[in-house]
Amino acid sequence: MDTDRAGLRERKKHETRIALSWAAIRLTVERGLDNVRIEDIAAEAGVSTRTFSNYFGSKGEAIVARHHDRARAIAAALRERPAGEPIWEAITHAALAGFALGEPVTEGRPPDQAWVEGLRLMVAEPALQGEFQKAGAAAEAEFALAVAERTSTDADDVYPLLVAGVVGAALNIVTRRWLSVDPPPPMDELLRDVFGRLAAGLPEPR
């Protein structure tokens, strides 16, 4: 039943982490960032405020945690792609796989109207901008490693860093666009469009 045989302790820790992050997101979407105190989040997850601080340094970190996990999943997915595959193709597939995990939100029910609206407000929150960006940057570092491995370049070489940075920027745009267009368009299309342009060398539209 456990995803990994790492023992009860590890599993519980992981569960607490998820519960905290999830509670942080839900409360923020419902009430708005300023009306959520760490106290509330901790209560929702059934732990003390002090324990919250053991897991996350701030509200923002907790909120962004899941976003961060997904970004890292994409890096992991890239490592799974066959070695011969052209790089942009591999990256596109990895991104699709990462997003295929799906927002836990939409797991059962269809995307709720009020929920999407709350999400928009949340990601627009200025206080969280830095947090999202930071999570993206951390994931980029891992992505750069995967790219370096695949292309047999040094990890601190310009090439893998540049590819990772570009991919990070692309994912940001895709995510924002998915939220901004009114009937959220299928991720597949967005991802293929953006990575297609990148693979083609960003031709100037006309």
Partner DNA sequence: GAGCAACTTTGCAGATTCGGCAAGTTCCGC
Partner DNA sequence: GCGGAACTTGCCGAATCTGCAAAGTTGCTC
Residues forming contacts to DNA in the complex (CB under 7 A) are: 7-10, 12-13, 16, 37-39, 46-51, 53-55, 57-59, 127
Q: DSSP string covering 96-107, please?
A: HHHHHT--GGGS
Query: What are the tokens at 16?
Result: 């607490």
Residues 172-191 that bind a second copy (CB under 8 A): 172-173, 177, 180
Considering CB distances under 5 to 8 angstroms, the limit depending on partner class, which of a second copy, DNA, none binds residue 31?
none
Query: In angstroms, what is the C-alpha Rg of the chain?
Result: 18
Q: Would you count residue 202 as binding a second copy (CB under 8 A)?
A: yes
> Looking at this protein, which amino acid is placed at residue 202?
L
The interaxial angle of helices 59-80 and 158-180, nearest 10 deg, is 120
CA angle 189, 192, 196 (to 5 degrees): 140
Q: Is the dihedral of CA 75, 79, 85, 86 positive or negative?
A: positive
Considering CB distances under 5 to 8 angstroms, the limit depending on partner class, which of DNA, a second copy, none binds residue 54?
DNA
Q: Which stretch binds a second copy (CB under 8 A): 20-28, 34-42, 111-119, 135-143?
A: 135-143
Q: Which stretch binds a second copy (CB under 8 A): 30-38, 46-54, 90-98, 169-177?
A: 169-177
CA angle 29, 32, 33 (to 5 degrees): 105
Considering CB distances under 5 to 8 angstroms, the limit depending on partner class, which of a second copy, DNA, none binds residue 98?
none
CA angle 115, 76, 157 (to 5 degrees): 115
Considering CB distances under 5 to 8 angstroms, the limit depending on partner class, which of DNA, a second copy, none binds residue 37?
DNA
Q: How far is CA 48 from the centre of its chain?
A: 26
x/- mask, a second copy, residues 85-104, rule CB under 8 A, reads --x-----------------
Q: Judged by CB, which is closer to a second copy: 48, or 151?
A: 151
Distance CA 66, CA 78 (A): 19
Q: Judged by CB, which is closer to DNA: 55, or 195?
A: 55
Q: Judged by CB, which is closer to a second copy: 101, or 123?
A: 123
Which residues have CB under 8 Å from 60's CB, separation 6+? Answer: 127, 128, 130, 131
**Chain residues that interact with a second copy, rule: CB under 8 A:** 60, 87, 129-131, 133-134, 136-138, 151, 153, 156-159, 161-163, 165-166, 168-170, 172-173, 177, 180, 193-194, 197-198, 200-202, 204-205
